[in-house]
Amino acid sequence: MRAIVEALRHCRETAESCVIATIIRVEGSAYRREGARCLIHADGRIVGILSGGCLEAELKEQAHHVFVDGESRRVHYDLRATSEEEPWGLGTGCDGAVTVWMELFDPISHPAAAAAILADGEARLSAPSAYWSLTVVGAEDDSEYAAGDRWQLPVATEESGPIAWESGSDGGRRPTACAASRKAVEQARESQPLPRMRSQSSAGLLLDTLALPQGGRGLCTGWMRGGLVEVFAELVRPVPRLVVLGSGADAELLSQMAAPLGWAVTIADHRIERAAPPGFSTAARHPVPRGDYSSIADLQAPYVVVMTHHLEVDRAAMRQLLPLAAVDYVGLLGSRSRARRIVADVQEDEGFRAEWLAKLHAPVGLDLGGETPEEICLSILAELTAHRHRRDGGPLRASELLDVPQGSAEIR
């Protein structure tokens, strides 16, 4: 997303138009899921990918039509097709279909719409808490909404569910406690057009109702301001924040490799002058007194990787980081024997709680067998990514699908 936002900023500054293509629905399996985006320039250059290459040429053609008429459009690709009439499935080996929403970014002819698209992207890069991003992709003629309208809805938790808003004559939107149950919303969706609902607490206000997707991303339909609308809803989670304790060459490399993956990195060290640009140009800097790491809690970063290469500093860091409620993951660089030594010392502290060790990852990283600094950083980032997505980091290979004769070489 960061590369797309940077491209949008460039288009705004240079008064260039482009087209944003977003996957809004996936049926079956696909290379990318709902919410994946790419940006298509007028000259055919593409930032980001939606497929393994089988759709990009066609997307350029569809983008051309958007450039010409300025109208957003929805295109559907069924990669399961096997007949000549439906060529998209031929030879791809895919078992799914994708629906793509394409809209114009034109800072000259449509400055308000372009500003909304850019603001939506920038918000995703700095979100301090989870929120719903909602984009109208279809609306009845009598609705006050139009395709391309977008807004944000704060959420208290990341659990999906039905939500309702009150829409007043002043155009303001306020969450209301009079939300319909999911069953009621689904029943209403099945009997279109949806009935008009009134708030019991605010007579005269239209109660807009929308059932948000359980998976956090997807299409949903609701009755809003006098008409039926279809909305692409995305639960945007906060940007993952990582603190790297240490300012050596490997910390620099980890910072550089984490940035393209969407991590917001902060370098914490008492020798903060060593974390100066250009090495840490993409990372924030947080000076800490030697041996006092309590201020790391103020950074609101759930992930911390300790790589100071100093035994006493690492021991002090473990004592102070493990009890922090704001920290969910503490990675410790070093050998197993070194980690055991540090943990044994920390466990002897008065007030130590064994459950704190659940957040400790020592040695940090997945076992990839690498030895170079780049391989070690890859291992660390792989484990961080798996932890963030609540996965164990195991292989995707489904061994039960492969008929490997006993005693034969392993297929790779």
pLDDT one-digit tens code per residue, 352-408: 899 999 999 999 999 999 999 999 999 999 999 999 989 989 887 765 555 555 554
Residues 252 and 358 in one domain: yes
Co-location of 139 and 205 in the same domain:
yes
Residue recorded with tokens 């990675």? 331
Does 396 map to a domain? no
pLDDT of residue 202: 28
Residue 183 lies in a domain: yes
Q: What is the mean pLDDT of residues 266-277?
A: 71
Q: Which residue has the higher pLDDT, 254 or 164?
A: 254
Asked whether residue 156 falls in the same domain as residue 285, the answer is no
Number of domains in the chain: 3
Global model pTM greater than 0.85: no
Average confidence (pLDDT) over 299-328: 93
pLDDT of residue 340: 94
pLDDT at 404: 52
Which carries the bigger pLDDT value, residue 304 or residue 280? Answer: 304
Same domain, 155 and 64: no
Three-state SS annotation for the chain: CHHHHHHHHHHHHHCCCEEEEEEEEEEECCCCCCCCEEEEECCCCEECCCCCCCCHHHHHHHHHHHHHHCCCEEEEEECCCCCCCCHHHCCCCCCEEEEEEEEEECCCCCHHHHHHHHHHHHHHHCCCCCEEEEEEEEECCCCCCCCCCEEEEECCCCCCCEEEEEECCCCCEEECCCCCCHHHHHHHHHCCCCCCCECCCCCCCEEEEEECCCCCEEEEEEEECCEEEEEEEEEECCCCEEEEECCCHHHHHHHHHHHHHCCEEEEEECCHHHHCCCCCCCCEEEECCCCCCHHHHHHCCCEEEECCCCHHHHHHHHHHHCCCCCCCEEEECCCHHHHHHHHHHHHCCCCCCHHHHHHEECCCCCCCCCCCHHHHHHHHHHHHHHHHCCCCCCCCCCHHHCCCCCCCCCCC
Q: Which of 81, 107, 126 is the last residue of a domain?
A: 126
Considering the domain boundaries, does residue 408 fall inside one?
A: no
Instruction: Clarify whether residues 184 and 74 are in a common domain.
Output: no
pLDDT digits (tens, 9 = 90+) for 299-310: 889 999 999 999
pLDDT > 90 in the chain, percent: 48
Per-residue pLDDT band for 165 (boundaries 50, 70, 90) equals very low
Q: In terms of domains, do 177 and 41 share one?
A: no
pLDDT tier, 183 (very low <50, low <70, confident <90, very high otherwise):
very low
Peptide bond into 277 cis (omega under 30): no
The whole-number pLDDT of residue 159 equals 43
Residue 65 is assigned to a structural domain of this protein: yes
Residue 89, in any domain of the structure: yes
Question: Residue 242 pLDDT more than 50?
Answer: yes
Indicate the residue among 176, 204, 239 that finishes a domain: 239
15 and 136 share one domain: no
Assigned domain for 401 exists: no
Residues 382 and 249 in one domain: yes
Q: Tell me if 50 is assigned to some domain.
A: yes
Same domain, yes or no: 206 and 276: no
The mean pLDDT value of the chain amounts to 80
Instruction: Please indicate whether residue 361 or residue 128 has the higher confidence score (pLDDT).
Output: 361
Q: Domain span at residue 371?
A: 241-388
Pair 118, 133 in one domain: no
User: What pLDDT sits at residue 205?
Assistant: 31
Asked whether residue 249 carries a pLDDT value surpassing 80, the answer given is yes
Tell me, what CATH number does 263's domain have?
Answer: 3.40.50.720
36-52 pLDDT per residue, tens: 999 999 999 999 999 87
* 198 found inside a domain: yes
**Average pLDDT for 223-241:** 85
Residue range 206-227: mean pLDDT, rounded: 74
89, 113: one domain: yes
Average pLDDT for 209-238? 82
Model confidence at 281, pLDDT cuts 50, 70, 90, reads low
Q: How far apart are CA 195 and CA 275, in angstroms?
A: 60
Same domain, 95 and 164: no
The domain boundary residue, chosen from 126, 145, 162:
126
- Summarised one tens digit per residue, pLDDT across range 50-72 is 987 788 889 999 999 999 999 99
pLDDT tier for residue 96 given thresholds of 50, 70 and 90: confident
